[in-house]
Amino acid sequence: MNESKVVMQAGCSPDPDDVFMFYGFEKGLVETPFRIEPRYEDIQTLNRKALDGVYEISAISAYMYPFVCHRYALLAAGASVGRGYGPVIVANRRYDADDLRKLSVAIPGRFTTSYLLCRMYLPAFKEIEMPFEDVVPALMDRDVDCALLIHEAQITYRELGFYKVVSLYDLWHGSTGLPLPLGLEAVRLAEADRWGRAINDALVLSIELAKRDFEPAMEHAISHRQTGLAPAQGRRYLEMYVNDDTLGMPADVRKALEMMYTTAHELGLIPEVPPLRIVE
């Protein structure tokens, strides 16, 4: 009798790049000695669940890692990295960054990397936390003055008539000269010890399969939660966040993580500078 496979649940954000990366697992195209089952939840929910080690594998914000580094290691594969782009704060009218201190801003979670960057570089503002899918509607309905945009809204906000208040990527890159690590794939330490390299290799294979079968994988990704992205926008977004940085974390991204955590610790925003345990 064949031994049944170990099942590992992977907490995934429903944004297109995560769905695209797990295409190979969704379609049963990746042969492994275990079975990976994606579980789609918004990033702030995944961040909070990572505190309790709910999922064997989980997408987390880069900001979250110092809070869970005693439960999780990082995979070299699966990172979302900004190079020339990243989260933005937008509004229905023109504002400057200094105006934020008197404005309300919808934020997609207090453990997101975008929020960490706000705390690092911007004046305090009135924060209104909500799931990321509610951020744009709140701004459209004028329930808030501004919105902190992550995921695909970074490339669609102008079409919605919004104005950029500040680019958090520009603030980060201007002060560090480094790419901006935004999201990471984490694996619980017990699974990392037993299966870590095989999990990372399997994720690389899933990504490569999606890139090979780009059109159906893209359609699967952008239709997963009805993003409204046109195919050209979907292609652009996936090229931004599923690329060589995603297949294996390069040295400048690791340096950026080290600098992010060192600076955040100096500012009292994280409890410690975590060791970078990276499985590859």
Domain assignment of residue 1, yes or no? no
- The pLDDT score that the predictor gives to residue 1 is 38
Of 155, 176, 197, the last residue of a domain is 176
- The pLDDT score that the predictor gives to residue 2 is 45
Digit-coded pLDDT (tens) for 82-137: 999 999 999 999 999 999 999 999 999 999 999 999 999 999 999 999 988 899 99
Domain assignment of residue 100, yes or no? yes
Average pLDDT of 129-147?
Answer: 94
CA dist., res. 130 & res. 108, Å (int): 5
pTM listed for this prediction? 0.93
CA dist., res. 94 & res. 243, Å (int): 33
28-62: b or e for each residue (b if 16 or more CB lie within 10 Å)?
eebebeeebebebbbbbebbebbeebbbbbbbbbb
**Count: domains in the chain:** 2
Q: Are 268 and 233 in contact (CB under 8 A)?
A: no
- In this structure, the answer to whether residues 74 and 185 fall within a common structural domain is yes
Average pLDDT of 149-172?
Answer: 92
- In this structure, the answer to whether residues 67 and 121 fall within a common structural domain is no
CA dist., res. 246 & res. 244, Å (int): 5
Domain assignment of residue 270, yes or no? yes
Domain assignment of residue 201, yes or no? yes
Digit-coded pLDDT (tens) for 52-68: 999 999 999 999 999 99
Of 157, 176, 195, the last residue of a domain is 176
- In this structure, the answer to whether residues 195 and 74 fall within a common structural domain is yes
- In this structure, the answer to whether residues 192 and 247 fall within a common structural domain is yes
Containing structural domain, residue 105: 88-176
Most confident residue range from 3-7, 154-158, 185-189, 215-219: 185-189
CA dist., res. 106 & res. 27, Å (int): 36
Digit-coded pLDDT (tens) for 182-234: 999 999 999 999 999 999 999 999 999 999 999 999 999 988 776 678 889 88
Domain assignment of residue 42, yes or no? yes
- The average confidence (pLDDT) of the chain is 94
DSSP state of 141: T
Question: For residue 16, what is the enclosing H or E element?
Answer: helix 16-21
- In this structure, the answer to whether residues 123 and 259 fall within a common structural domain is no
- In this structure, the answer to whether residues 202 and 114 fall within a common structural domain is no
End-to-end CA distance of the chain: 33
Digit-coded pLDDT (tens) for 94-109: 999 999 999 999 999 9
- In this structure, the answer to whether residues 191 and 274 fall within a common structural domain is yes
Of 145, 176, 207, the last residue of a domain is 176
- In this structure, the answer to whether residues 112 and 201 fall within a common structural domain is no
Q: Are 68 and 50 in contact (CB under 8 A)?
A: yes
Q: Which residue has the higher pLDDT, 152 or 162?
A: 162
- The pLDDT score that the predictor gives to residue 211 is 95
Give the dihedral sign, CA 258/130/241/60: positive
Q: Are 79 and 183 in contact (CB under 8 A)?
A: yes
* CATH number, domain containing residue 40: 3.40.190.10
Domain assignment of residue 143, yes or no? yes
